């Protein structure tokens, strides 16, 4: 024991603490998936990954562009002339053409109603690195930032772990579709002050993760007024800006800031506003690690740029993206088509759920839905939510993410990603849910013959045997067409 | 003033402090270069960048490989099939094939005398990001690390700025070629303890930056014994491992650790040892941001891997590097040829300096020399060093880095990079130095006719008019051949 304690103290408090938050169910679900990943032919009974907010719907558009534009890569015979210069470039301002292309793309992804200045574009290692650097610039250890719940689980790692800041929840509830109210804002702020926490800012994600909703103009105005009144920062995570697939249109904080600044009566200080952006969701390129901090504050731009040394974007990638994002014809058609495909996928998935009586919070953006399974809980507790979550992971074999990992205050909500898989896998997932619900109803019928109905349950009843589902027997005609690549695969049988 | 103070307090102590160290002359020299960069035809009187440790000698080898291996890029028509999978890959363990290739390359760059385990390879955003993450894992704010002087100026930013640790110098001197002695080690450690600083480790760069020397086996053994006695960490920055171009061969800490572990009497704890690596110097790819932390400590591997989320390497780049580094025939011939070219360049440059009576510390590695200009100082002070440095930047128009920015305790040393330019530029730099020295001698002759010789000066005398040198009149026949691309350029005249 003594030896163990001594060993531990060789490392830092950061390394030996659990503040990275990776022991939350959000990450546990990924581990369950990793141990038994679904594959249509090689592992058809495996866990389907619905916990990963990836956009896999539009890569074919990028691939086609690549084949037509071999000069965009320094690793082709026609592009290699630039290899030496680009491989050597390490200025932390980034390649000028990259910053210009990103600034233009950010404008286009926000309906071209606002212009972004390339000189305010600061690079970071993904939104993860960019957000952490921003926190290092804005706050000292112990300082607090308000965050409306539910919020992205990895904020705990990205914003808090190494910086030592605190995240103070603003409680949002389903009664008004989890919208942030002035009252909830003020109350969270006042409570923090009472607890002697110095509040340095407010962090929002718009479009929201995990809700998939966008904020309206009035709400954004309220937030800008609030942070100006308190003289604190506003950090807007807009990494899902171009995933908006339905009305209302996306309104960026930059647009509202521009409007409000025009009226001097508003007394707006733009230096309090900072945007986090990325190409991981909007372009579907998480592996490329493109994180952007766009700040209206010169001091933050200057400090964060020095910090970008810790997570610069590979110049091989900067060069490629500068090329593709400078092609305005491509960018415009990509944004339209990507949005169209997301709308279609969202519709297929939510309608599939509705056929089984499962509803989601109405949403118009992002790569997931916020699924309401409150009626499936025996009691409205987080223990019950975890029980249901384990059932879904282990029996239905879908890795969805429980609301508790998003710090949601109401048990029974789950984030379900729908854009990180092909059409067939969506159908398999919907079928698994269908059988899950059907079995529940059958059991319910049997149960209610003997017992009275439980008050927490209205029109869904679920229960499970521990038997693994046999995908070959559960497939509906709509997916088991003879053209299905795994319809006749011997591998399907090999794993039963 | 009040408004200014208030504004400042909106940002963090990190953002408003000067601990990033970028106000050192090391970075100032870069700025001087940026304002007036040399170009053979477009700006022949500009500042030649000799402050940047880049390896530009072997890119042609990589370029040739690229043309022959189009599948190594996901942005070619034959490689694009993998685009979607690779663009989506964001596991912070890194691509398995990348880690394997890096581990193998690290072995080859160390003479294949030691094997590296791919599971201990942790990615970081360049050596910069990897080193900072290691500090976050090992130490709490206020903790100290011993570092032998002179040391890499950006350590102040990379290791100290955001982590809050302290760097405690171990004084090394020219009397024994700046070698680290047990006495200096113990003395620095004892002084720190007396000042109530908790020492968490020792940081060395081997090959050294700025010395260009490698450490011998006995020294490395002494260091391993020392850190085991004190139960502190040993961080070895080996980012110049494959730049060793002359005997003695490079000996990695991993090799000595392996040897010492074999004798249980040594009671060695390998968990105290960590290596920082990179491809920026050895392969000449700083823009690709490949930083590697290799730790023998499982706790560090696990924590640092979580931290690598802040600075992952673009998967486009991981895939390319996995391909090229897996080609063992290429890697072996690259390492040999790169080393041969560095040896040649080093010889040309140091012999050129010697012709003018300028000596450098004898070195066998890296991309720079440690030039001894002590005799040119009127007094052995750092003010004098700065005066000489300004003369070299502003009059000779060479951006070299003064020893003070490397925390050297003896004034008069300068780091001069020789591998970030072509042969012609090296000759122009040598010519500028030649004229500088010659003018100094001429002035000296005039001066000594009237005054007695100054005691600080032996065989070099320098002084300058503020007139800009006219490159067209100073070029020696060896570079002003009729084939020189800028021999007859009207631009050469246009800027006089």
Each residue's pLDDT, cut to its tens digit, for chain B (496 residues) gives: 344 444 547 999 999 988 887 777 777 777 888 899 999 999 999 999 999 999 999 999 999 999 999 999 999 999 999 999 999 998 999 999 999 999 999 999 999 999 999 999 999 999 999 999 999 999 999 999 999 999 999 999 999 999 999 999 999 999 999 999 999 999 999 999 999 999 999 999 999 999 999 999 999 999 999 999 999 999 999 999 999 999 999 999 999 999 999 998 889 999 999 999 999 999 999 999 999 999 999 999 999 999 999 999 999 999 999 999 999 999 999 999 999 999 999 999 999 999 999 999 999 999 999 999 999 999 999 999 999 999 999 999 999 999 999 999 999 999 999 999 999 999 999 999 999 988 877 776 776 665 544 433 444 444 333 333 333 333 333 333 333 333 333 322 333 2
A209 within 8 A of A366, measured Cβ to Cβ: yes
| CA dist., res. A318 & res. A292, Å (int) | 12
A331 phi and psi angles, rounded to 5 deg:
-60, -45
The interaxial angle of helices B59-68 and B315-325, nearest 10 deg, is 90
B200 within 8 A of B139, measured Cβ to Cβ: yes
pLDDT over 90 percentage in chain A: 81
| CA dist., res. A157 & res. A180, Å (int) | 23
Q: Which residues of A touch B76 (CB under 8 A)?
A: 66, 70, 73, 75-76
Collapsed DSSP state (helix, strand, coil) of residue B124: strand
B102 phi and psi angles, rounded to 5 deg:
-65, -45
Residues counted in chain B: 496
Residues counted in chain A: 496
What separation in angstroms does the CA of B70 have from each of B61, B87, B323, B324?
15, 17, 10, 11
- Quote the strand ranges of B383-449, DSSP E: 398-399, 401-402, 413-417
Determine how β-strand A398-399 pairs with β-strand A290-295: unpaired
Q: Locate tokens 């502190």: which residue? A: B232
The alpha carbon dihedral of B380, B382, B386, B392 has a sign of positive
Q: To which H or E segment does residue A244 belong?
A: none
**B84 vs chain A: nearest CA distance in angstroms?**
6
Q: Which residues of B touch A307 (CB under 8 A)?
A: 162
Pick the catalytic residue from A203, A239, A358, A428: A239
B281 is catalytic: yes
Q: Which residues of B touch A233 (CB under 8 A)?
A: 10
Residues paired with A275 in a beta bridge: A236, A294
Nearest residue in B to A30, CA atom: B91
Nearest to A36 by CA among A28, A47, A26: A47
**B459 vs chain A: nearest CA distance in angstroms?**
39
A170 is catalytic: no
**B430 vs chain A: nearest CA distance in angstroms?**
24
From the number of C-beta atoms within 10 Å of its C-beta (0-12, 13-18, 19+), residue B112 rates as: exposed
**B167 vs chain A: nearest CA distance in angstroms?**
16
For B378, residues 6+ apart whose C-beta sits below 8 A from its C-beta are B384, B454, B456
Identify the residue among A199, A310, A321, A420 best suited for mutation to test binding to B, counting B beta carbons within 10 A and taking the highest: A310
What separation in angstroms does the CA of A184 have from each of A179, A191, B489?
10, 11, 70
Identify the residue among B4, B6, B9, B15 best suited for mutation to test binding to A, counting A beta carbons within 10 A and taking the highest: B15
Contact B137 A317 (CB under 8 A): no
Pick the catalytic residue from B237, B296, B397, B433: B237
Nearest residue in A to B231, CA atom: A10
ipTM given for this complex: 0.89
Pick the catalytic residue from A26, A151, A152, A368: A152
pLDDT exceeds 60 at position A461: no
Omega prior to B95 cis, within 30 of 0: no
A281 within 8 A of A243, measured Cβ to Cβ: yes
From the number of C-beta atoms within 10 Å of its C-beta (0-12, 13-18, 19+), residue B488 rates as: exposed
Collapsed DSSP state (helix, strand, coil) of residue A163: coil
For B128, residues 6+ apart whose C-beta sits below 8 A from its C-beta are A309, A310, B154, B157, B158, B291
Contact B83 A288 (CB under 8 A): no
| CA dist., res. A31 & res. B18, Å (int) | 42
Question: What single DSSP character describes residue B66?
Answer: H
B152 is catalytic: yes
Q: Locate tokens 């690690």: which residue? A: A289
A239 is catalytic: yes
pLDDT tens-place string over residues A290-322: 999 999 999 999 999 999 999 999 999 999 999
| CA dist., res. B206 & res. B222, Å (int) | 14
Two structure tokens written together for B102: 């890096």
Collapsed DSSP state (helix, strand, coil) of residue A343: helix
For A157, residues 6+ apart whose C-beta sits below 8 A from its C-beta are A19, A20, A21, A22, A128, B306, B309
| CA dist., res. B376 & res. B479, Å (int) | 28
What separation in angstroms does the CA of A334 have from each of A58, A115, A118, B453?
8, 20, 22, 75
For A252, residues 6+ apart whose C-beta sits below 8 A from its C-beta are A110, A113, A114, A206, A236, A238, A241, A275
| CA dist., res. B79 & res. B460, Å (int) | 59
Two structure tokens written together for B425: 């530029």
The alpha carbon dihedral of B212, B216, B217, B221 has a sign of negative
Determine how β-strand B48-49 pairs with β-strand B398-399: parallel
């Amino acid at each position: 024991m003594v030896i163990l304690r001594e060993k531990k103290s060789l490392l830092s408090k950061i390394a030996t603490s659990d503040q990275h938050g990776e022991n939350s169910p959000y990450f546990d679900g990924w581990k369950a998936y990793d141990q038994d990943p679904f594959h249509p032919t090689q592992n058809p009974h495996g866990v389907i990954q619905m916990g990963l907010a990836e956009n896999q719907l539009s890569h074919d558009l990028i691939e086609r562009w690549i084949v037509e534009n071999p000069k965009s890569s320094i690793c082709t015979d026609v592009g290699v002339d630039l290899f030496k210069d680009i491989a050597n470039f390490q200025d932390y301002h980034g390649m000028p053409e990259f910053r210009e292309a990103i600034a233009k793309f950010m404008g286009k992804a926000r309906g071209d109603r606002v212009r972004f200045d390339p000189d305010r574009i600061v690079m970071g290692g993904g939104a993860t690195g960019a957000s952490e650097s921003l926190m290092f610039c804005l706050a000292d250890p112990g300082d607090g930032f308000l965050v409306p719940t539910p919020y992205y689980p990895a904020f705990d790692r990205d914003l808090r772990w190494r910086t030592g800041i605190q995240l103070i929840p603003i409680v949002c509830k389903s009664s008004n579709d989890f919208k942030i109210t002035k009252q909830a804002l003020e109350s969270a702020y006042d409570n923090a002050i009472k607890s002697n926490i110095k509040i340095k800012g407010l962090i929002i994600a718009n479009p929201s993760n995990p809700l998939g909703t966008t904020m309206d103009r009035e709400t954004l105005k309220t937030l800008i007024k609030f942070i100006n009144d308190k003289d604190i920062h506003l950090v807007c995570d807009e990494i899902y800006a171009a995933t908006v697939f339905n009305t209302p249109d996306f309104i960026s904080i930059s647009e509202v800031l521009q409007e409000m600044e025009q009226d001097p009566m508003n007394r707006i200080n733009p230096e309090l506003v900072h945007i986090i952006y990325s190409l991981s969701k909007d372009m579907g390129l998480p592996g490329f690690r493109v994180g952007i901090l766009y700040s209206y504050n010169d001091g933050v731009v200057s400090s964060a740029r020095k910090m970008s040394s810790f997570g610069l974007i590979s110049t091989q990638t900067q060069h490629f993206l500068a090329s593709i994002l400078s092609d305005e014809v491509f960018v415009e058609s990509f944004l339209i088509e990507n949005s169209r495909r997301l709308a279609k996928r969202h519709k297929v998935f939510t309608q599939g759920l509705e056929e089984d009586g499962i509803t989601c919070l109405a949403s118009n953006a992002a790569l997931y839905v916020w699924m309401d399974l409150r009626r499936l809980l025996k009691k409205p507790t987080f223990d019950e939510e975890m029980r249901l979550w384990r059932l879904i992971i282990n029996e239905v074999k879908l890795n969805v993410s429980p609301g508790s990992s998003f710090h949601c205050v109401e048990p029974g909500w789950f984030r379900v990603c729908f854009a990180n898989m092909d059409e067939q896998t969506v159908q398999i997932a919907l079928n698994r849910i269908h059988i899950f619900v059907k079995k529940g109803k059958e059991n319910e019928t049997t149960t209610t013959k003997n017992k009275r109905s439980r008050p927490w349950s209205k029109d869904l009843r679920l229960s499970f045997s521990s038997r693994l589902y046999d995908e070959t027997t559960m497939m509906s005609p709509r997916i088991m067409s003879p053209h299905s690549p795994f319809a006749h695969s011997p591998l399907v049988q090999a794993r039963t």
